[in-house]
Amino acid sequence: MVKISYSPIKELVVHDLFKMDFDDLVRGNITPNGVMPLFWCDGMIYRFTSLPMSRELSKLYLEGTVHWAEVHYSDDIKDYKQIMEVKDENFQGGALKIRIINMSNSQLHKDFAKWLKSNGKGKQ
């Protein structure tokens, strides 16, 4: 039988943190190909940018450390909704719909949301 191991992340390093209004957070996720989803966990809604993988970062990752270059977040959304809307006359129909991914089952994201609530030092 094949041995299967589980090796969870031991450390998350966040390099830059920005608190934003929810509408601005959504507008920042608009790309030429559409709207990227946001993540939600325990009342926090956010997006993150990972650092490009390099030999050194791959080694750290295998040792259990993940680096996020930037996190943009809002604490305006207490209850999870799969789809949310931002009203804006610039969008067809007057509203932009965005998908929200519930990360409540991820220990990494639960720990991050808890840390963010007590240590959020973002700029607004």
Q: Give the pLDDT confidence of 93-116 residue by residue, as tens digits.
A: 667 788 999 999 999 999 999 999
Average pLDDT of the segment spanning 56-71: 95
Average pLDDT of the segment spanning 15-29: 88
In tens, the pLDDT along 80-96 reads 999 988 776 666 666 77
| Contact status, residue 46 vs residue 116, Cβ threshold 8 Å | yes
* pLDDT score, position 124: 44
Q: Which domain holds residue 109?
A: 11-119
pTM for this entry: 0.84
Kindly tell me if the per-residue pLDDT of 122 is higher than 50. Answer: no
Domain assignment of residue 66, yes or no: yes
* pLDDT score, position 35: 79
Distance CA 41, CA 23 (A): 18
| Contact status, residue 10 vs residue 65, Cβ threshold 8 Å | yes
* pLDDT score, position 69: 96
Dihedral sign for Cα atoms in the order 49, 107, 46, 121: negative
Domain assignment of residue 2, yes or no: no
| Contact status, residue 43 vs residue 75, Cβ threshold 8 Å | yes
Average pLDDT of the segment spanning 6-32: 89
Domain assignment of residue 101, yes or no: yes
DSSP letter at 94 equals G
Distance CA 30, CA 78 (A): 23
| Contact status, residue 118 vs residue 44, Cβ threshold 8 Å | no
What is the count of structural domains for the chain?
Answer: 1
Domain assignment of residue 1, yes or no: no
Identify the helix (H) or strand (E) that includes residue 26. Answer: helix 22-27
Average pLDDT of the segment spanning 69-74: 94
Kindly tell me if the per-residue pLDDT of 15 is higher than 90. Answer: yes
